[in-house]
Every structure is written in C-alpha cells, then in structure tokens.
Chains A and B, each alone.
Chain A
C-alpha cells in the first residue's frame, strides 16, 4: 500500500514539474516510480488498456479496477534483469506502431474484439535476425510478460483473494484421495 501512495506522490511531483508553462501536450512525463523502465504516463494508460482487455471488468472487477498495470510495472522494474527490462521496454515502445500497422488505428480506438485479436496475435509473433524480427520478438515478449503478470496480479489481488475466491491461511487436514466429483468447485460467475 505504501508503495502505491508513494507512486501517487511521485506522479504528482512529476505532474507538478510539467506545469512549467507549456502548452505542448505531447510532452509525456516519465514516471519516476519505475526508475529502470522509463515508462511514460501515456504508456501506463496503454498498459491499463491492454491488461483490461486481457481481463475485462464485468460483474466481477477487471484488471484495471485492481491496479494491475501498477503491479506489472513494479514486477518488471524490481524483479527483472536489465536485459529483460530492455526487451520489455523495446516491445512496449514498438507496440503502438504495430497496432497501427495491423489494426489501422490507435489501440484505444479499436473495439474489444479487435484489441483481443491483436494481443493474441502479438503473443505468437516469432522473432528473427532482421530488425523486424528483433522488434517482433520484443513485442511478443512484452505481450506475453504483460499477460502473465496481468493474470498473476489479478488472481493474487486482495479483491479476488478476499471477495471472490477467499484464500485460506489454514487449508485443513490433508485428504490424499478425494474424488474429483466430490470436490466442491469454486463456481464463480466470471
């Protein structure tokens, strides 16, 4: 929680600095909280859109409701090697052009179905020796990593683990031969 508060403060500081008289809305502040990634505010918005496409809101909250983009960036900033961070940011930076090329528009303007198609196709891109191949490899890495951390950040969130599928610190006595048909399914209206 402290981290999130700190992030907000940093965002504010960063926003404050941007108040230096300028009407250039294209200037895009780098978010200081993820110091190793050089992620801009608009990139974070894009990441939110991607993660919310991967796990959208419905009756049960979606990825964006649970601040999953923040989790993704924290994990990559803190737990990844410099090499993998570089690959992730390269793919992240290349993704908007890839969307325009394959979808004909900015990501946020596409409909849900098209967004899903682009992400799914992007996760399967194959790399190669050429510059395009290298870029494709980075895009695929970016999308697969984002998908993986979206799933982890979503499922291991306080909301899911308290309100949807409550996590128990005390799992109960072991039964080493329980019939699957007897197991109570945590049936959720997803």
Chain B
C-alpha cells in the first residue's frame, strides 16, 4: 500500500531548517527568510495562530468557572507544571502537562515547557536586559566554566537589531553593568519605587541602582510596529493568554507572521525532531528525522544549514540522540561534554515589607513591568565569599481593599465601596547567577522512552555552596536596603524551590574557543559539524543574572547572518 507520507526528497529539501519556533528559533527563521533563504521551521507542538488561537484572551474574570484557579485533579495529575506561577485557568492550555513528556529527575528539577508554535514566547515574563562586558568576561576573570568566545562588542549591534524589531521599552539609565539599548519610552516607576531608588543613592552612592525594568512591550513608535500587525501595549497584564494587540513580543505576533509574509517560510507543526542526520561521507549534517505527532511515522527533511533551537534542554536531547558511527555519543560530542555544565538562575529568595510614608498617594492604570536591580555584587572585582552575584526585581504597590470583617448590609456596603488603603507593600525577588559545573548535567536515559519513542532526559542539577551563600547575601543585603529606606514589617523567605522553576535553564552545548572544552564556536556552530547552529539557551557558557531571552534573540539573528554569509563563500 502506498505510503502517503513518502514524498520525493526534493520536495522535502529546503535551504535551511530551524528546529523550534520559540523566541530563538523564530528569530533565526525570521532573519533567514528576510535574507531570502527558503526555510523550514519545525515545531513539535500544535499550531497557534496569532489572535485566532488565544481562546481566553478577552474573557472576563467571571467567565472562568474557577475564577482562574486550577482544579485539584489537574494539580494532582501535574505536580511539576502546577508549581509554575502562570499555570492558571487562563493559560494552562499553553503549558506541557506532566504526562505528555515524562523525564527522569535524578535530582528534583521542575521542567516547565510550552509545546506549541511560539513555544514559551507566549508565556515569558518579557523582561529584556542586555548583558554587559562584565558578564561575558565573568568566567575568564573568575576562573569557572570556559571563556566566552565573544564579548559585548560582538553582540551589541545585534542587541540593537532585535530590540528595534521586537519593541523594547526602557530608559537610558547610563549604567555600565546594564548597557542601554534601542528603547521605546520607558515605563514609569511609581512614587514609592522612585523613593526607594533615591534612598539607594543616598545610602550607597552610585553603587546600587533600581531602575524601570526594560520590557518587550510596544510603548511608542506605533507606525513602525503596525508593519508587523502589532499595536501599542494596552497595559492589560493578561500577556500569558496571548495578546490580541501584539503589545508584547511573541513569535506568534511578530517574527513568525513576518517570516511567513516573505514567502520563504514553511511551518511544520506537530513534528517532533528525533535526530539530526549526519552524512559520514560528506562530513556534514544533511537534515533531520521527525516523528509525526499524530501518525507517529518518521519522515526526513533536508537542508544544508540547520538551526537547533528546541529550547535549552530539548536541544541537548536532540543532539545527544543524533548518533552515528562518527559521533556515537551525540552530534559534535567529541569531548564528551555535551549535556554537561548546565546551569540556571537562582530564584529562591524574596524580601517584602511595608512603607508607611507617601500615604497620600496610590496608583492608577496598569503597566507591564516594574523595578529592576542590576547586579551590584562583584561587578568590578571579587568582593564577597561567593562568586558572581544576583539581580533583583522590585515593585511597590498600594491596592484599595475593603473591610471584610462584617456581615450583611454592612459587609455589602464595604465590599462595594472599598476605601482601605493601608501602607504601601514593597517586594523583591532574587535572580542569582549559578556557576556551570560538570556535575550539573542532562543525559539520555538508557531504558525509558517518552510517548513518541524518544529516550527520556535524565536531569541531574542542583544548587551548590555558592548558591547558598548568595541566597543568604541577597536576603541580608535586601533587608538592609529595606531598613535603610525606612520600610517596616520586613519579611524574607527562601522557598528552596527546585532548579527549573526559574525557567532559565541554560548550557549543555556551550560556546567556547577550544573544541576540547566546548561544543560551539564563536559563531554558534558545532566545532565538529559547522553547518549545525545552536543559538538557544543550550549555547550558554555562563548564565549571568539577566533574563536570557533577549540574548538568545541577538545570538539567533547574528548566527543566521553568519550562516548566509558562509553559504555565499
């Protein structure tokens, strides 16, 4: 019987293949398409079309049967994803349920995933701070991991390139440890946040800053973004549902429709990439094998250039599973380091408090961002008993509440006429750099398979002594800063949450100068298979403290241009 899936090799051949449609994959595809490259983008999940496939985006609170809360049965069946702050009734359909893609936790790791066209770009927190020279030189200066093969100057223009297109709002803060970029007008800090920033200047001179966090929201230059079919952010703060305005950057609202418009993009959802095909005679990768999510049949696609951007750990999984005589331990894995030196961000600790001052003020309206503390520890030199440091989020707010202690008409009157302002509430959370180590690794399980027959990923990642010291320091320092600012009722907590819940897993296929100690070169090519590029979180040599997505965008754009330049040689 004829197999309808078998098409001629020519029909399944493209000029480039991008695996993954999230932030980094869609950026690679968009750049390749803009440069005239016929590109196939493969996504393991279902298609999610901008606006059409955002079923909850305009629902009102009372239209959610549980007012946003997830049913207990779902929580019981999904202990991992239920820990994620955004896994609620309005966005649960964009998260991978635990049973859909099992993995082995040799140590606790909460792997939060979004398998659909657009990936986690629909769900991300949209915070986009640039790395600085201090971040790229970190491993070399402090003697961990390996030296990054690039520096800030190599990536600065690519940051500008992606910021302009994605739309980044922020202020020119003039901080050497958090370079300014191509900003749309920034969002305002509120009166208590400004007060805190001033207090920091007063008590710490020019060492510690709290700024309005740069975010990937359109806050100006509306005509330019109208070309992408996107409009100004409406301050809804319902981003995780998918934004009908395209007010924040997602693959679905921005890069994918743009790439489709060039006529050069073919999108293939529902296709799980099994492995990269390596041709021993040519000494090159020639394509990928996919498993159709519905028929479970395997099919091959071919291209001279491959981008593997499946999100950090799944990129590791695909390349580890890409075995051949030449590469028995994974594609390009001559040194045996693939899957090792995985790191993440330490999000364990929080500090909160109250402020009795500025009691005549409150806020109105909405904004999609809040305050940000760039790293102030160990920036210019080593000064603590732990390596590196942490950034922190900061926000203050003052909601109006009602007195709910009564009953009957008195309670009703109070509920409908809320007038209890109380003090300002202030809060902060840490975003700590973790040190990549050989002992923090992912590997393929020898026996267990997922529902598609792929080996399950074994995850073995943990905190270390450096993280414990840093957590303690964050709590001490933030508490001290709160005290100096006159905040009261200061509380701190260490959730001891497992790695993974930060959703900033990075590394395993790190960049470096030396093929003996790294997998990728300065252009994001596998040292041993240069027509394979990795520009997602897997490529990270170290983690710094900034939310990483902006850096993946810049990496993807830069590498795409490199690939096209190479192909013309």
Q: Which of A3, A174, A177, A185 contacts B417 (CB 8 A)?
A: A185
For A183, list chain B residues within 8 Å (CB). 362, 364
Q: Which residue of A lies closest to B188 (CB)?
A: A176
Is A42's beta carbon under 8 Å from chain B?
no
Per DSSP, chain B at the interface is: loop
Q: Which residue of A lies closest to B73 (CB)?
A: A78
Let me know if B362 and A187 touch, CB within 8 A. Answer: no
Let me know if A185 and B419 touch, CB within 8 A. Answer: yes
Let me know if A181 and B360 touch, CB within 8 A. Answer: yes
Let me know if B416 and A164 touch, CB within 8 A. Answer: yes
Is A55's beta carbon under 8 Å from chain B?
yes
Let me know if A180 and B360 touch, CB within 8 A. Answer: yes
Q: Which residue of A lies closest to B413 (CB)?
A: A190
- Looking at B61, B190, B193, the one whose CB has the most chain A CB atoms below 10 A away is B61
Measured CA separation A48–B369 after assembly (Å): 42
Interface residues in B, total, Cβ within 8 A = 46
Within the complex, what minimum Cβ distance (angstroms) separates B247 from chain A? Answer: 10
Known A-B contacts A60-B412, A78-B72, A185-B417; the reply to A170 vs B362 at CB < 8 A is no
Q: Which of B235, B412, B414 contacts A174 (CB 8 A)?
A: B235
Q: Which residue of B lies closest to A180 (CB)?
A: B362
Let me know if A169 and B69 touch, CB within 8 A. Answer: no
For B188, list chain A residues within 8 Å (CB). 174-176
Q: Which of B286-294, B401-409, B436-444 contacts A (4 or more CB under 8 A)?
A: B401-409
For A74, list chain B residues within 8 Å (CB). 65-66
- Looking at A54, A158, A177, A190, the one whose CB has the most chain B CB atoms below 10 A away is A177
Q: Which of A167, A176, A187 contacts B61 (CB 8 A)?
A: A167
For B193, list chain A residues within 8 Å (CB). 176
Per DSSP, chain A at the interface is: mixed
- The digit string for B391-411, where 1 denotes a CB below 8 A from any CB of A, is 000000000000010011101
For B237, list chain A residues within 8 Å (CB). 171
Is A17's beta carbon under 8 Å from chain B?
no
Known A-B contacts A79-B72, A190-B415; the reply to A53 vs B408 at CB < 8 A is yes
Q: Which residue of A lies closest to B238 (CB)?
A: A169
Let me know if B364 and A174 touch, CB within 8 A. Answer: yes
Q: Which residue of A lies closest to B190 (CB)?
A: A176
Let me know if A116 and B363 touch, CB within 8 A. Answer: no
- Looking at B188, B194, B412, the one whose CB has the most chain A CB atoms below 10 A away is B412
For A157, list chain B residues within 8 Å (CB). 62
For B191, list chain A residues within 8 Å (CB). 176-177
A-to-B contact residues, CB < 8 Å: 3, 53-56, 58, 60, 62, 74-75, 78-81, 112, 116, 119-120, 147, 151-152, 154-158, 161, 164-165, 167, 169-181, 183, 185-188, 190
20 contacts between A and B (CB under 8 A): A53-B408, A54-B407, A55-B412, A58-B412, A60-B412, A62-B412, A79-B70, A120-B407, A156-B62, A156-B67, A158-B62, A171-B235, A171-B237, A172-B365, A172-B366, A174-B188, A174-B363, A176-B190, A180-B421, A190-B412
Give me 7 other A-B pairs in contact (C-beta within 8 A), A55-B411, A79-B71, A174-B366 excluded: A58-B409, A158-B60, A167-B60, A171-B237, A174-B188, A174-B363, A186-B416
Q: Which 4 A-B pairs have the closest CB atoms?
A: A176-B190, A177-B191, A174-B367, A190-B413
